Structure 1
Amino acid sequence: MKRRTFLTGLAGMIPAGILLSNTNFNDTPTLSHTFNPKLPYDKTPENWKGTPQLSDGTFQNLYHPFEASLAAVLKWKLNKNPQEEEKKADKRRLDVEKIGTFQPNGKDELIWLGHASYLLYIGGVTILIDPVWLDNWVLKRNSVLPIIPEQIRDVDYILISHDHRDHCDEATLKLLGGLLPDAKILTGLNMTPLLQPWMPKNKIQEAGWFQSYALSESLRITYVPSRHWSRRGLMDTNQRLWGGYYIESSDKTIYFMGDSGYGPHFKLISDTLGSPDFALMGVGAFKPEWFMHPAHTSPMDAARAFRDMGGKNFIPMHFGTFDLSDEPMLEPLDWLRANPEAVNGALIDPFLGRNLI
């Protein structure tokens, strides 16, 4: 992404760039905890009180307070990228296998659609995760979408981890709202006012961290913490909750990280819900690390988090489709391939459009 293009899209996606603040500095916000009273807690950490929220309405990370600095954004974007020439010379792109109409054969499937977007069939249920398939005013795809949207049928749930534009795209969701009006949306607290106008026929469930959604199937999906933040415009910082998902069927568990920096919450999740069979871990958009690490894990930090969780299979994501940071787009995968011991030899090499489980 060009620096000037980034600055025009500053409000919507990359951390720490607050141009205007909706905080009243004359009042010191007080901390409380919240949840959706309509949804259950099946498993919680010891002494769990709920999702942290300040009296000004902003949600908070469990262990690391959100910090915003326009000066840090400008320092990054106005300084030269030390890997700029290397990045320009690297023309490699992700391998893609077109899949046509999705017709499950009864076996579980996890198909990567690029960045943090997945098509999942598990326990007889079809799920879309963070579908961002169309170019928008900030993002341009650098990998081919493996499937034609109109060829997806009978989706039960659409999971939207948080409101950032590389995970929550208005045009894609409007398209899916028309194609899949019966699909239920599973997301975080206070996301309905954003999503419902785009998908007026779709029912939406909002969860706090460690709450499980009300599903008719035996499948259990729990919304879990991440170390991140949220914003779509200039005045709504952290007004919508962010998180990941822990998906459990009768014979398999899948952890989807969403966006997150490294922190103790990874072990907290596995201590509470168990070590995942498959961990979908963000590894890209991590340079410069001094700036990105509170919001995105590097491949090194993602590997550390995977080991903290005791995961069995490591599936990297959040790289190779959108150009969001300083590193060449396939550098995270290069590091993982060169350091298989970092994930205990459990790397599943990603391939767009191919079943990964």
Structure 2
Amino acid sequence: MKRRTFLTGLAGIVPASALMYYLSPEEEITVSHTSNPKLPYLKKPSDWKGTPLRSDGTFQNLHHPFSSSMYEVLKWKLGGNPQEEEKKKDTKRLSVEKINGLPPDGKDQLIWLGHASYLIRIGGVTLLTDPVWLDNWVLKRYSELPIDPQQLRDVNYILISHDHRDHCDEATLKLLGTILPNAKVLTGLSMTSLLQPWLPKNQIQEAGWFQSYDLKESLRITFVPTRHWSRRGLLDTNQRLWGGFFIESDDKSFYFMSDSGYGEHFQLISDTMGSPDFAMMGVGTFKPEWFMHPVHVSPMDAAKAFREMGGKHFVPMHFGTFDLSDELLLEPLDWLKANPSEVNHSLIEPIVGRNLLV
């Protein structure tokens, strides 16, 4: 494998790439605020100015600016994994139920397809989140995809949270572009130039944080902040916006966290949007914690954020499908099962392919 190809793949997954993000000491950076002028703010914090945008053209987290370090990457990769032998012997895998046909129209559903990918039907509208379904040289699935993509029809929206390769896969999106040319793509600012060549027939809407998308259906989807970062290649750090989604119908609300480190933004989202009925919280890719915590919450911190948000049902994700970090594949779920009080006994055990709505 060519060195450049390897680094490009690594750049889209781990929280600090093999190249540092350099800034000249003489260059003074200022921060302004931006948004999509075509989209509304239906709910926003009282003092909201917009999505932070640095004068070098890159986006910035609300409370914890991202920085990358070559030293920390090497310290992690060369330092060894204390669970390495345990991982070699580990055979525990996610439970998967095959989907042999979609339920009748009108029945709400929340079906986990693995990692951060869901099939959601709410109020008669069908959504897909972060579809990464095909193995490639960077990612290998450890849980089977429960559905044949060719079964998918009448999907209204494809939600892409950010540009990292375990959330935004070129091959999967090209496939969906041929199967679902009428599905609209909802994503963050500056993502269109990346996505449109893969989805030439699909309309794309970009939103800043706390902006709601222009939808025809009686559904509200709002792009909300996370503590994370973006990079697809070697020289495009934070040039595309990252975030999560808050989805509301007449009688249900879903919070899709995407990737995030712990921070004040969880409380800000809840204060602004309300407490979610179903919180899909990332819990994996968290070890070593000294390295991962700025961009991926541990199951412990995910539980803390869930309690702060006042969520009703805790739905863990972002574990078990891809091996991206030092912990065992199902270690986050094992911790949650062993500590039910940490999520107020509201854990919905994630079975891939099963409707998780209760």
Instruction: Describe how 1:1-357 pairs up with structure 2 within 5 A.
Output: 9-19=9-19, 21=21, 23-357=23-357
Alpha-carbon offset, residue 8 of structure 1: 6.9
Matched residue SS, 1:206: strand
Q: Which runs of 5+ in 1 are unaligned?
A: none
Alpha-carbon offset, residue 79 of structure 1: 1.3
Q: What letter corresponds to residue 132 of structure 2 in structure 1?
A: V
Q: Is the Cα contact below 8 Å between 2:21 and 2:67 reproduced in 1?
A: no
Distance 2:53 2:322 in 1: 31
Q: Is the Cα contact below 8 Å between 1:254 and 1:277 reproduced in 2?
A: yes
Q: What letter corresponds to residue 205 of structure 2 in structure 1?
A: Q
Q: What letter corresponds to residue 237 of structure 2 in structure 1?
A: T
Alpha-carbon offset, residue 129 of structure 1: 0.4
Distance 1:22 1:198 in 2: 30
Q: Is the Cα contact below 8 Å between 2:105 and 2:124 reproduced in 1?
A: no
Alpha-carbon offset, residue 104 of structure 1: 3.4
Q: Is the Cα contact below 8 Å between 1:112 and 1:350 reproduced in 2?
A: yes
Distance 1:104 1:53 in 2: 44
Distance 2:160 2:341 in 1: 32
Alpha-carbon offset, residue 24 of structure 1: 4.7
Residues 285-331 of structure 1: CA deviation (Å, up to 9, x unaligned): 00000000000010000000000100000000000000000000000
Distance 1:6 1:284, change over 3 A: farther
Q: What letter corresponds to residue 220 of structure 2 in structure 1?
A: R
Q: Is the Cα contact below 8 Å between 1:94 and 1:320 reproduced in 2?
A: yes
Q: Which runs of 5+ in 2 are unaligned?
A: none
Q: Is the Cα contact below 8 Å between 1:247 and 1:253 reproduced in 2?
A: yes
Matched residue SS, 1:9: helix
Q: Is the Cα contact below 8 Å between 1:23 and 1:56 reproduced in 2?
A: no
Distance 2:25 2:174 in 1: 37
Matched residue SS, 1:222: strand
Question: TM-score under structure 1 normalisation?
Answer: 0.97
Matched residue SS, 2:71: helix
Distance 1:322 1:262 in 2: 21
Alpha-carbon offset, residue 107 of structure 1: 1.4
Q: How many residues align?
A: 353
Distance 1:250 1:271 in 2: 19
Distance 1:8 1:40 in 2: 35
Alpha-carbon offset, residue 26 of structure 1: 3.4
Q: Is the Cα contact below 8 Å between 2:96 and 2:146 reproduced in 1?
A: yes
Alpha-carbon offset, residue 272 of structure 1: 0.3
Distance 1:332 1:197 in 2: 36
Distance 1:273 1:174 in 2: 33
Q: Is the Cα contact below 8 Å between 1:111 and 1:355 reproduced in 2?
A: yes
Residues 76-96 of structure 1: CA deviation (Å, up to 9, x unaligned): 011110001111111011000
Matched residue SS, 1:127: strand
Question: TM-score under structure 2 normalisation?
Answer: 0.96
Q: Is the Cα contact below 8 Å between 2:7 and 2:234 reproduced in 1?
A: no
Q: Is the Cα contact below 8 Å between 1:115 and 1:322 reproduced in 2?
A: yes
Matched residue SS, 2:246: strand
Alpha-carbon offset, residue 27 of structure 1: 1.7
Distance 1:11 1:305 in 2: 27
Q: Is the Cα contact below 8 Å between 1:163 and 1:232 reproduced in 2?
A: yes
Distance 1:6 1:323, change over 3 A: farther
Residues 246-284 of structure 1: CA deviation (Å, up to 9, x unaligned): 000000000000100000100000000100000000000
Residues 230-251 of structure 1: CA deviation (Å, up to 9, x unaligned): 0000110000000000000000
Q: Is the Cα contact below 8 Å between 1:21 and 1:234 reproduced in 2?
A: no
Matched residue SS, 2:118: strand
Alpha-carbon offset, residue 25 of structure 1: 4.5
Distance 1:12 1:327 in 2: 19
Distance 2:221 2:8 in 1: 36
Q: Is the Cα contact below 8 Å between 2:9 and 2:165 reproduced in 1?
A: no
Distance 2:226 2:201 in 1: 29
Distance 2:181 2:205 in 1: 15
Q: Is the Cα contact below 8 Å between 1:101 and 1:152 reproduced in 2?
A: no
